[in-house]
Amino acid sequence: MKVFFNGKIVNSNSPIVSAFDRGMTFGDGLYDVVKVINGKFPFIEDHVKRLERSSKFFKMKSRYSLSEIESIALELSSVNGVEDGELFLEITRGTDTIRDHIFEEEYDPNFLEVVQPLRKIDRNLWETGAKIVTYPDMRHGLCEHKTIDLLPNVLAKNYAHSKDAYEVLMFRTQNGRKYVTEGGSSSYIFFDGERIVAPKIDNILPSITRSKVLSIAKSMDLEVIERRVWLDEVRHMKEVMLLSTVSKVMPVVKIDDMSFLFGEKTRKLASAFENLILSYRAKIS
* Footprint on this chain of ligand PDD (rule: CB under 6 A): 33, 182, 185-187, 205, 207-210, 243-246
Judged by CB, which is closer to ligand PDD: 45, or 96?
Answer: 45
CB atoms < 10 A from the CB of 12, how many? Answer: 13
Judge contact between 153 and 190, C-beta under 8 A: no
Q: How far does Cα 217 stand from its chain's mean position?
A: 20
Judge contact between 220 and 268, C-beta under 8 A: yes
Judged by CB, which is closer to ligand PDD: 146, or 265?
Answer: 146
CB of 182 to ligand PDD, least distance (A): 5
Closest CA to 208 of 3, 18, 35: 35
Closest CA to 41 of 91, 115, 92: 115
Judged by CB, which is closer to ligand PDD: 197, or 208?
Answer: 208
CB of 21 to ligand PDD, least distance (A): 20
Judged by CB, which is closer to ligand PDD: 19, or 151?
Answer: 151
CB of 187 to ligand PDD, least distance (A): 4
Establish how many alpha carbons lie within 13 A of residue 121's alpha carbon, considering only the half-sphere containing its beta carbon: 20
CB of 105 to ligand PDD, least distance (A): 30
Judged by CB, which is closer to ligand PDD: 54, or 244?
Answer: 244
Closest CA to 213 of 243, 246, 168: 243
Closest CA to 285 of 71, 46, 5: 71
CB of 135 to ligand PDD, least distance (A): 12
Q: What is the four-CA torsion angle of 178, 184, 186, 191, rounded to 10 degrees?
A: -30
CB of 20 to ligand PDD, least distance (A): 25
Judged by CB, which is closer to ligand PDD: 72, or 208?
Answer: 208
